[in-house]
Each structure stands twice: as structure tokens, then as C-alpha cells.
Amino acid sequence: MLNREFFCRDPVLVARDLLGKLLVRDYDGRRLSGIIVETEAYLGIYDKASRGYGGRMTNSMRPLYEDCGLLYVYPVHMYLMLNVTAAPPKEPTAVLIRALEPLEGIDTMTENREIKNIKKLCSGPGRLTKALRITKEFNGLSAVNELIHFEDYTKVKESEIVATKRVGVDYAGRHADLPLRFYIKGSKFISKH
């Protein structure tokens, strides 16, 4: 299980280093997991694409301002987005988990999503939260717990990491073009090719 210190670093480093790690969810005693193949870094109060831009704060955003290594779960339209807070503590920086390559508990995940296409099962932030049954109640939980956590799995080489602009943040002006979306080159499970 990755410890809190893993997340208490620059969100860009955390986003890159999460590639190849496992996201693990204990769902009614069943282990659901996937290899993280795509992430996005959000840099806080100076990043116009960030939820915490300009110091914006709502009650549901509290995890962003509390500590690193906390889950930050929020809705966008009808989907939930899973993030983990990064450093420095009390700054609203986070990493969005954008896509997984399903590994364990695939039958349960396909039931949760009501689809059979494994490539589309967790290929987007809203898809993976539905597949893993991550709810708003996860907001503020530690990313180091038995219910949901991250584990070492495989080391992704620097040459295998693609950095490009983030998805769906065109409103952020020049910040939309920052190369803060990271994915594993050649993965068939990313959200957008």
C-alpha cells in the first residue's frame, strides 16, 4: 500500500508516478483493482483549470485544503471524479485518476457499469468511479485505508509516459494547454486517444 508520503509531493510528480500503480477497492469483500494508465495534475490556486483556483472553497472541497493523501471526490454532470490530494498540504492541489486498465474483479465491475467492453469499462474518470462503486461518501477519506488505496504494481519508464494537455478544461485559457495529462503510451484503456 502506498503511504501518505507518496502523495505529499508536487502534483506533477505524483501524477506521473501513479502511472503503473494499482487502484484497489474493497467492495463487499471483493477486491476490485485496475492499473492506473492515465492521470491529470491540478496545481491549485494559480491553475485556472483547478477546482481550487483563486482560493475557491466550498464545504465539499475541504479535503483539498486539509492535507495531502486524501481522496477528493466531486460530481461533474452525472459522474463522480476521483482525485487524491497532493503537496503542499493546505494548498488545493490534486491528481485526477482518469483511467484504469481493469485487473481484478472485472465481473463485478462490468455488472456495476452494465457493459461488457473491457476497454471502455474504466476508460474515463466517471466510468472508473461507477465501475468501482466510488461514491461521494469517499470524499475526505485517507488514500491509505483498506476500503480504497493504491499499491505498487509496475514501474513505467520515462520513455513510456506521454504528457499532453488536460481534457475538458478549455475554459481555463492558456492553462488548458499545460501538459499536465499523463498516460502510458500505447495503452488501449485511456479515456481519449
Q: For residue 80, give the CATH number of its domain.
A: 3.10.300.10
Global confidence as pTM: 0.97
Distance between CA atoms of residues 184 and 147, nearest Å: 26
Parent domain of 13: 4-184
pLDDT tens for 130-183 read: 999 999 999 999 999 999 999 999 999 999 999 999 998 989 999 999 999 999
Kindly state whether residue 164 falls inside one of the protein's structural domains: yes
Q: How many structural domains is the chain composed of?
A: 1
Q: What is the pLDDT of residue 193?
A: 63
Residue 73 has pLDDT above 80, yes or no: yes
- The mean of the pLDDT values for the chain is 96
Kindly state whether residue 193 falls inside one of the protein's structural domains: no
Q: Is 69 helix (H, G, I), strand (E, B) or coil?
A: coil
Q: Are 158 and 16 in contact (CB under 8 A)?
A: no
Kindly state whether residue 53 falls inside one of the protein's structural domains: yes
The residues that bridge with 26 in the sheet, in sequence order, are 31
- Give the pLDDT mean for 32-48: 97
Residues 6+ apart with CB under 8 A from 143: 2, 4, 7, 69, 70, 71, 84, 149, 150
Kindly state whether residue 92 falls inside one of the protein's structural domains: yes
Residue 89 has pLDDT above 90, yes or no: no
User: CA distances (Å), 57 to each of 45, 70, 90, 169, in order?
Assistant: 10, 16, 12, 19
